[in-house]
Amino acid sequence: SYELTQPPSVSVSPGQTASITCSGDKLGDKYACWYQQRPGQSPVVVIFQDNKRPSGIPERFSGSNSGNSATLTISGTQAMDEADYYCQAWDSSTAIFGGGTRLTVL
Amino acid sequence: QLQLQESGPGLVKPSETLSLTCTVSGGSVSTNTYYWGWIRQPPGKGLDSIGTLYYSGSTYYNPSLKSRVTMSVDTSKNQFSLKLRSVTAADTAVFYCVRGDPRALVFDSWGQGILVTVSS
């Protein structure tokens, strides 16, 4: 079965750039999306189709996807960005999620 | 604005069937523009897709759960539902109902989630 791998945790200082990776076999041949989940809340999509932002998502969120990896980049990270982030792709009509990355803003 | 609300028992006994309903407001389940689905999250763990369905009846289940899952749509009540059979403690999770956009390939709307505990 298809798997997506994320680092369990990433730390970043306020105002700096955070990068969260998601690895999977030939992931670049699929579309990747990213969800943000703050504690006690439901996930919210922040990036879809590799690099598109839904309306209402700040411009500091961006994404890329090529080869075997997708990356979520948060520029000028703010305290409010502290959350769990999940990548997701599709494999044979099944949604596959990465294990999630806890972003800590120190 | 679309809202999704999960409902159902918060406690289910082992070996029994977990049944949940998602009520859709601010939109209609009777559309092929979007699809509907269920995603679960065990306490302290990550997201796990259960399956998706179109109102027309087409269903797509996660192969790991396919033998135990049934999803359906009730257009008269603007709801869709999940049944998960033969549950064990490993099925304890927060269950989210979601709307999916087949063009964007993303789940763009989520319910608040409902915690279902499997315990005797």
Burial class (CB in 10 A: 0-12, 13-18, 19+), B112: middle
Please say whether the beta carbons of B86 and B15 come within 8 A. yes
Q: What is the mean pLDDT of residues A39-64?
A: 97
The pLDDT confidence band at residue A79, using thresholds 50, 70 and 90, is: very high
What pLDDT was estimated at residue B32? 85
Q: What is the mean pLDDT of residues A48-58?
A: 97
Chain A residues 30-89 with a CB less than 8 Å from chain B: 31, 33, 35, 42-45, 48-49, 52, 54, 86, 88
Per-residue pLDDT of B33-69, as tens digits, reads 999 999 999 999 999 999 999 988 899 999 999 999 9
Question: Is some CB atom of chain B closer than 8 A to the CB atom of A97?
Answer: yes
Q: Within 13 Å of residue A2, how many CA atoms lie on the same side as its CB? A: 23
Q: What is the mean pLDDT of residues A43-54?
A: 98
What pLDDT was estimated at residue B39? 98
| B chain contacts of residue A48, beta-carbon cutoff 8 Å | 104-106, 108
Q: CB distance B108–A88 less than 8 Å?
A: no
What pLDDT was estimated at residue B57? 82
> B69 to each of A103, B10, B63, B64, B90, how far by Cα in Å?
33, 18, 10, 10, 15
Distance of CA A97 to the CA centre of its chain: 10
pLDDT at B9 over 90: yes
Beta strand pairing call for A9-12 and A101-105: parallel
What pLDDT was estimated at residue A96? 97
Give the Cα separation of A20 and A72 in Å (integer).
Answer: 5
Please enumerate in sequence order all residues whose Cβ is within 8 A of that of A23, keeping only pairs 6 or more positions apart, or say none: A4, A5, A6, A68, A69
Pull the structure tokens for residue A72.
């979520």
pLDDT at A23 over 90: yes
Please say whether the beta carbons of B60 and B49 come within 8 A. no
Give the Cα separation of A33 and A45 in Å (integer).
Answer: 7
Q: What is the mean pLDDT of residues A68-89?
A: 98
Q: What is the mean pLDDT of residues A5-25?
A: 98
DSSP bridge partners of B32: none
What pLDDT was estimated at residue B68? 98
What pLDDT was estimated at residue A26? 97
Per-residue pLDDT of A86-97, as tens digits, reads 999 999 899 999
* 3-class SS of residue A38: coil
The pLDDT confidence band at residue A78, using thresholds 50, 70 and 90, is: very high
Q: CB distance B107–A54 less than 8 Å?
A: no
pLDDT at A58 over 90: yes
pLDDT at B94 over 90: yes
Task: Please spell the DSSP secondary structure of A50-87, one letter per residue.
Answer: TTBPPTTS-TTEEEEEETTEEEEEESS--GGG-EEEEE
What pLDDT was estimated at residue B55? 84
pLDDT at B106 over 90: yes
